[in-house]
A and B are shown apart, each in its own frame.
Chain A
Amino acid sequence: MRRTLYILLRNPLSVLGIVLIALVVLCALFADFIAPFPSHVGAVVDFSNFNQPPHWPNIMGTDLVGRDLFSRIVFAYRISLLLAAVVLVIAVPIGVVMGLVAGYFGGWVEYVLMRITDVFLSIPPLVLAMSIMGVLEPTLTNGMLAVTAMWWPWYTRLIYNITRAEKEEGYVLAAEIVGASKLHIIFREILPNCIPAIITKMTLDCGFVILIASSLSFLGLGVQPPTPDLGSMVAEGANYLPDSWWLSVFPGAAILLAVFGFNLLGDALRDVLGSEE
């Protein structure tokens, strides 16, 4: 643990990643205090000050109905992070347990579970999420559901491969010899050896989930207005490019910042924890 931290802090790129993530998380947590106009999150209209380029006090300009862009971006981070957290908290355990079970038991259990996984993996993720969102109403909860449905198979495959390798390790045989139950072997012997890979992938995925969720709302299938969302803000502003550039450039940069931060940290973690994939 201390060794991991030490190596991370010596690598400037991972430090940058940590700083960016910290920034995003702080924005999300303390949005009420950071945003200069917290009321602009809702349906506020101020036509005396609409579609203005960056100026004081609207440091990132205002949108088409006169709301402060900076305030809305800060609050949008809260939605994005919440979505990423919920998706991973649901998708990871499902994927991991399926991977462990398929990898350990083999035979027809593996066959059934991995073929289901393959079916999900064979559909382009965005298409799958779009069709789920198309059938259901576009709300935040359904957005989470759609992204979760496309996310777990990746974990199943990752953990399945690790489990197959770990199963051959001496300590698994040793556990069998001392009469450990299958449940014990899967969750107490093999699972701890998958943790580094899971942590690494989850870090990288935080960024990707934010990106996918933004893509969905860019297409109008995500969070609905007036709730602020980075993807739909970019989409809204795209019609007014290049004259009103601030409308999509700042939300776009906000997505970039978050995804970039998680990627940097994820890459560094992969090197430190030495996980495969």
Chain B
Amino acid sequence: MSIPTLDIADLRLAFRSHRGLSEVLHGISLTIETGETVALVGESGSGKSVTARLILGLLQELKNARVTGRISFNGEDLSGFSDTERRKLRGTAISMIFQDPTSALNPTYTIGTLFHEVLRRADPKIGWAAAIAEAEDALREVAIAEPGRVLNSYAFQLSGGMNQRVLIAMALANRPKLLIADEPGTALDVTVQAQTLKLMAELVEKHHTSVLFISHNLGVVREVADRVYVIYRGNIVESGPTRELFDNPQHPYTQALLAAVPRITGGGIPEIDDDPARFSAPLVAHGESA
């Protein structure tokens, strides 16, 4: 068996507070093989994003935190890395896309300038012309028909879906080994989100990029992930191949999570008595005597 792209073993995170240590991650273990897309699903506050931040080494509050466990990237233990080495890793070997694509692009620079900046992380000597040529190719890969126009635009001049595609192109521009997608496109409308995610899935397939896909959207997870980890209150409660886990959830939390997905059941819409006279009745305030 080859070395996994990402291997997290017994990752624990605790914050120091006036009440002593409070642990928020209780021993997360997670593996992503090369070219695999792995989803980490759970509700808000379950520890999904904090895990991603730990992988990147980007936790602002780290001074007040205690981290134990091991994060290995391509077989190398990240805890032995200095800040500079980690910085070098980010943006070249590991990259990330996240929720709101428009806010992720600095409004004072054109997309072309931002692209140049990203490419310079991997190749500091790359010139403007070379960077633009490479950016145009990258944008064509995410189905942007007029890369020249987009590169000359600012983020606020483009649509959310367009920005999301730009971000995907940027995130993959340096051919990272691992892409962390933290609820990508949640800020977009559903159809656009689906399109861009499909694009992303095709691209990571093509470039054999491993993906850690963080989401609470089970419909999307089912589409893109090979394997799923379910996280609940800082614990991995269940994991397995996507299909198996969806068809036969074992843990009560997974069952509850799956049951919470709204479905079109075909039972018709419940009937509502839409007599206008009823809707113009005076407002009823509960708990107050008139």
Interface residues of A (CB under 8 A from B): 169-171, 173-181, 189, 192-193, 195
Contacts and interface: CB of A to CB of B under 8 A. Distances in A.
A176 B121 CA distance: 12
Contacts of A179: 86-92, 121
Contacts of B107: 171, 193
B58 A170 contact: no
Contacts of A177: 56, 58, 90-91, 95-96
B78 interface: no
Contacts of A181: 87
**A-B CB proximity, top 5 nearest:** A178-B91, A170-B103, A192-B108, A170-B104, A179-B90
B95 A193 contact: no
21 contacts: A170-B98, A170-B105, A171-B103, A171-B106, A173-B104, A174-B106, A176-B58, A176-B90, A177-B56, A177-B58, A178-B117, A179-B87, A179-B88, A179-B89, A179-B90, A179-B91, A181-B87, A192-B106, A192-B108, A193-B107, A195-B108
Nearest to A195: B108
Contacts of B86: 179
B90 A171 contact: no
A167 to B, nearest CB: 10
Nearest to A107: B63
Contacts of A195: 108
Contacts of B88: 179
A195 B88 CA distance: 30
Contacts of A173: 58, 98, 104
B109 interface: yes
Nearest to A172: B106
Nearest to B93: A179
A178 B108 contact: no
A192 B121 CA distance: 21
Contacts of A171: 103-107
A270 to B, nearest CB: 18
Nearest to B106: A171
A169 B92 contact: no
B103 A169 contact: yes
Contact of A178 (B90, B98, B99, B100): B90
A215 B106 CA distance: 42
Contacts of B102: 170
Interface string B23-34: 000000000000
A174 B105 contact: yes
Interface in B75-90: 86-90
Contacts of B90: 176-179
Contacts of A189: 106
B118 interface: yes
B56 to A, nearest CB: 6
Contacts of B87: 179, 181
Nearest to A166: B106
Contacts of B98: 170, 173-174
A57 B150 CA distance: 63
A170 B56 CA distance: 16
B105 A178 contact: no
A174 B103 CA distance: 9
Contacts of A169: 103
Contacts of A180: 91, 117
Contact of B108 (A170, A174, A176, A193): A193
B58 A178 contact: no
Nearest to B89: A179
A180 B90 CA distance: 9
Contacts of A192: 106, 108-109
A177 B89 CA distance: 9
A181 B96 CA distance: 17
Nearest to B100: A170
Contact of B121 (A170, A178, A193): A178
A114 B56 CA distance: 31
A178 B56 contact: no
B106 A193 contact: yes
A178 B105 CA distance: 12
Nearest to B90: A179
Q: Identify the interface centre among B106, B109, B118: most chain A CB within 10 Å of its CB.
A: B106
Interface in B56-80: 56, 58
Contacts of A178: 90-91, 95, 117-118, 121
Interface in B98-142: 98-100, 102-109, 117-118, 121
Q: Identify the interface centre among A171, A178, A181: most chain B CB within 10 Å of its CB.
A: A178
B263 to A, nearest CB: 33
Nearest to A176: B58
A14 B103 CA distance: 32
A171 B95 CA distance: 14
A111 to B, nearest CB: 15
B259 to A, nearest CB: 33
Nearest to A190: B106
Nearest to A196: B108
Nearest to B60: A106
Nearest to B173: A178
A179 B91 CA distance: 6
Contacts of B89: 179
